[in-house]
């Protein structure tokens, strides 16, 4: 369907259906995300403005870490209770492949850039799945207690595995992603060879053997807010989490925490709409994502958390933190000063191998 000025002013569902009147939409919706500072940023940039604009009631659910399993269960029970779900790219791919997420017609269901550039061109290479609407570029990296690491702060991700130089507890996410890659890298595998090695049984054993060296000192987390709290409480010396959570702890809460950007793992996060919603709920979900992923709204989220917006047209609009008044650009994972040695997380590889590696990782945890 070709965009016209009139169509660009209507709701996403009107554009898809090609009808002249506003479609009936649900007056309540459940949006699933990750909790903590990240959900707060979405609440400020997207949810509150949308509720004020439409009068719809948004219910927040912080279950994104379990999104794939829960959507599978909802599908089995034929009872989909979520309307819009925030997931990482690899999980979106799995949900799309399994028919659990709605396919998106990006140029007809999402807003163009202010200059008329189509959504597909504006999002560009970040459109990695037919069902995935990118929202942010973020990284998983390490924070450390500046007052608990001694006179020399950690500078390498491999310091996480050095219990002699940096004694104390670590926190790691309770999943194989990132942990396996960091383990191989710190066991001498070149960055470019990580996924080739991890694709073999020997490579998996090599990664788990490296993780064995710190297993007894690890606190495992499942929610992004846990590591900042563990660091703030002094229960761990260093721990992995999302860079925006660490920014919040450091800049907003003035915690004695430093950032370790070495081998930060770049990833994408965004929205999916579950398959099987009623027409009214689907209409509401489409209307919401049309609103929440336009150029200005994606830039607005960067006022509250240090994640880069997924649209090219949003980047020039990123300014200062809403409350602190500090320039947000230097706190983004993509800032050149932070990106001298990054790990490019391969969401395609993980989409194909996640279930198998999850099983092996959980079996290792249980030993």
pTM of the model: 0.77
Residue 363 confidence (pLDDT) above 80 = yes
What's the whole-number mean pLDDT along residues 343-357?
90
- Between the CA of residue 346 and those of 72, 128, 195, 349, what are the distances in Å? 23, 11, 8, 5
Residues whose CB falls within 8 Å of the CB of residue 185, separated by 6 or more in sequence, listed in order:
157, 158, 191, 194, 263, 343
Q: What φ, ψ does residue 133 adopt, rounded to 5°?
A: -105, 105
Give the count of beta carbons closer than 10 Å to the beta carbon of residue 220.
Answer: 14
Query: What percentage of the chain has pLDDT greater than the value 70?
Result: 94
CA 217, distance to chain mean position in Å, is 26
Query: DSSP character for 297?
Result: H
Residue 22 confidence (pLDDT) above 80 = no
Query: DSSP character for 44?
Result: I
CA 252, distance to chain mean position in Å, is 20
Q: What local confidence, expressed as pLDDT, does residue 272 receive? A: 98
pLDDT in tens, 255-303: 999 999 999 998 899 999 999 999 999 999 999 999 999 999 999 999 9
Residue 7 confidence (pLDDT) above 50 = no
The C-alpha atoms of residue 214 and residue 239 are separated, in whole angstroms, by 12
DSSP output for 114-175? TTS--HHHHHGGG--STT-EEEEEEEEEEEEETTTS-SS---SGGGGG-TTTS-S-EEEESS
Q: What local confidence, expressed as pLDDT, does residue 41 receive? A: 94
pLDDT in tens, 95-133: 999 999 999 999 999 999 999 999 999 999 899 999 999
pLDDT in tens, 223-251: 888 999 999 999 999 999 999 999 999 99
pLDDT in tens, 184-213: 999 999 999 999 999 999 999 999 999 999
Residues whose CB falls within 8 Å of the CB of residue 298, separated by 6 or more in sequence, listed in order:
135, 136, 309, 310, 311, 314
Q: What local confidence, expressed as pLDDT, does residue 330 receive? A: 84
How much is the mean pLDDT over the chain?
A: 91
- Between the CA of residue 315 and those of 120, 122, 138, what are the distances in Å? 16, 11, 14
């Amino acid at each position: 369907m070709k965009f016209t000025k009139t169509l660009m002013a209507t709701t996403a569902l009107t554009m898809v259906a090609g009808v002249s009147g506003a479609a009936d939409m649900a007056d309540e919706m459940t949006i699933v995300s990750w909790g903590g500072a990240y959900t707060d940023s979405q609440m400020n940039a997207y949810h509150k403005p949308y509720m004020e604009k439409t009068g719809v009631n948004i219910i927040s659910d912080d279950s994104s870490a379990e999104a794939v399993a829960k959507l599978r269960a909802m599908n089995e029970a034929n009872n989909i209770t979520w309307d819009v779900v925030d997931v990482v790219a690899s999980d979106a791919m799995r949900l799309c492949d399994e028919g659990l997420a709605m396919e998106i017609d990006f140029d007809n269901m999402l807003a163009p850039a202010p200059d008329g550039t189509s959504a597909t061109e504006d999002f560009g290479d970040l459109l990695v799945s037919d069902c995935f609407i990118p929202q942010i570029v973020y990284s998983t990296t390490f924070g450390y207690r500046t007052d608990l690491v001694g006179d020399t702060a950690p500078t390498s991700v491999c310091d996480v595995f050095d219990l002699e130089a940096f004694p104390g507890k670590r926190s790691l996410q309770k999943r194989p992603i990132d942990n396996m890659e960091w383990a191989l890298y710190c066991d001498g595998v070149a960055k470019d060879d990580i996924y080739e090695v991890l694709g073999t049984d020997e490579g998996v054993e090599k990664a788990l053997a490296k993780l064995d060296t710190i297993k007894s000192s690890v606190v495992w987390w499942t929610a992004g807010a846990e590591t900042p709290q563990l660091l703030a409480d002094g229960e761990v010396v260093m721990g992995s989490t999302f860079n925006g959570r660490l920014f919040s702890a450091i800049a907003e809460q003035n915690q004695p925490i430093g950032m370790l950007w070495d081998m930060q793992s770049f990833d994408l996060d965004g929205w999916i709409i579950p398959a099987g919603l009623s027409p009214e709920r689907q209409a509401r979900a489409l209307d919401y994502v049309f609103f929440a992923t336009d150029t200005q709204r994606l830039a607005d989220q960067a006022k509250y958390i240090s994640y880069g917006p997924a649209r090219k047209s949003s980047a020039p609009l990123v300014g200062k933190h809403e409350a602190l008044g500090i320039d947000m650009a230097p706190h983004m994972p993509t800032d050149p000063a932070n990106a001298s040695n990054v790990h490019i997380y391969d969401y395609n590889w993980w989409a194909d191998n996640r279930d198998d590696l999850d099983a092996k990782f959980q079996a290792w945890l249980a030993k």
